[in-house]
């Protein structure tokens, strides 16, 4: 049975780039990985496949939404290090629910028996608002990982995600493995002080700290994971280290994880305001 991860985080903070590099690190350590993009912009797997692949919703439209007419080859592309990629996609803007499409994709994977064919399945999920559809991967996940930056908006979203994980854990096995601090820039006086305090407050930890580095941005636009960049790139070792660290923790026999204890929406304004 696959180890299932659900990666969430506020939109626009590099969640998909982080997910793709975690997948790459896992694959290079010998794991067979499926990464599933659960955002209507369907670019989660772009660094892995080097293209915007056909989405589940597009494939379903071609067969008039008859699930039984689709095979894994219709919706899965194989890319870097043998990683398989799938994109849920979404309806045209203003015409439907993206969360519903995610739920349909989860059901389709189950019907195809794909949960038994991988070592790790990583869901990369839109995380600003956790509605029923976008929270569907938590029903299947062993662990969730939150991507966050050291600012209030990101931490507020992370706290809402902790609420969703706590609620799901009542009926399902999901636990929070931890928070990945992304775009950490010590050169400009930044750090992870707010994230460190938030993690302690909700009963979790920082899994790793990903630096704010131009190489990460360039790799994304090149349609590559960091692991596919030229080995002599300045700063490459520094950028790769946190992804390898995360992969090692995921593949360990007993990853540390817990059910978070989120803060109330109004309370977090007062608490986080005092951390700045």
User: Annotated binding site, which residues?
Assistant: 12-17, 41, 97, 131, 182-183
Sort strands 143-148 and 77-78 into parallel, antiparallel or unpaired: unpaired
Q: Of the listed 74, 128, 151, 196, which one is catalytic?
A: 128
Instruction: Judge contact between 229 and 236, C-beta under 8 A.
Output: yes
Q: Of the listed 29, 32, 41, 54, which one is catalytic?
A: 41
Placement of tokens 């038994």 in the chain: 116
- Specify binding-site residues for [4Fe-4S] cluster: 97, 131
Instruction: Judge contact between 223 and 50, C-beta under 8 A.
Output: yes
**Helix H segments across 29-97?**
46-49, 56-62, 72-75
- Specify binding-site residues for ATP: 12-17, 41, 182-183
- Specify binding-site residues for Mg(2+): 16
Active site residue 41: yes
**R_g over Cα of the chain:** 18
Instruction: Judge contact between 188 and 15, C-beta under 8 A.
Output: no
Tokens of 98: 């993206």
Residue among 181, 208, 203, 207 at smallest CA distance from 263? 203
202 SS3 class: helix
Residue 85 CA to residue 83 CA, distance in Å, equals 6
Residue among 113, 137, 168 at smallest CA distance from 5? 137
Instruction: Judge contact between 229 and 219, C-beta under 8 A.
Output: yes
Q: Of the listed 15, 168, 209, 224, which one is catalytic?
A: 15
Please give the C-alpha separations between residue 189 and each of 82, 192, 193, 208, 233, in angstroms, as whole numbers.
39, 10, 11, 19, 25
Active site residue 54: no
Active site residue 10: yes
For the annotated catalytic residues, the residue numbers are 10, 15, 41, 128
């Amino acid at each position: 049975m696959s180890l299932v991860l659900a990666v969430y985080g506020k939109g626009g903070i590099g969640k998909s780039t982080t997910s793709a590099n975690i997948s790459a690190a896992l694959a290079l350590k010998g794991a067979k990985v499926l990464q599933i993009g659960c955002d209507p912009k369907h670019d989660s797997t772009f660094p892995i496949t080097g293209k915007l692949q056909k989405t589940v919703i597009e494939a379903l439209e071609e067969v008039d939404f008859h699930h039984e007419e689709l095979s894994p080859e219709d919706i899965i592309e194989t890319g870097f290090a043998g990683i398989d990629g799938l994109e849920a996609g979404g309806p045209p803007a203003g015409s439907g629910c993206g969360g519903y499409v995610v739920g349909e994709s989860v059901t389709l994977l189950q019907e195809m028996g794909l949960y038994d064919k991988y070592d790790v399945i990583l869901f990369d999920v839109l995380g600003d608002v956790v509605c029923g559809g976008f929270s569907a991967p938590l029903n299947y996940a062993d662990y969730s990982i939150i991507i966050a930056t050291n600012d209030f908006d990101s931490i507020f979203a992370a706290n809402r995600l902790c609420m969703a994980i706590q609620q799901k854990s009542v009926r399902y096995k999901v636990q929070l493995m931890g928070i990945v601090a992304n775009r950490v820039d010590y050169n400009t006086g930044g750090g992870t002080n707010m994230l460190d305090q938030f993690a302690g407050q909700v009963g979790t930890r920082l899994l790793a700290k990903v630096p704010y580095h131009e190489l990460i941005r360039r790799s994304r636009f090149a349609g590559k994971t960091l692991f596919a960049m030229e080995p002599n790139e300045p700063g490459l070792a520094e950028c790769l280290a946190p992804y390898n660290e995360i992969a090692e923790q995921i593949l360990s026999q007993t990853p540390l994880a817990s059910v978070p204890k989120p803060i109330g929406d109004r309370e977090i304004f007062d608490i986080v305001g005092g951390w700045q």
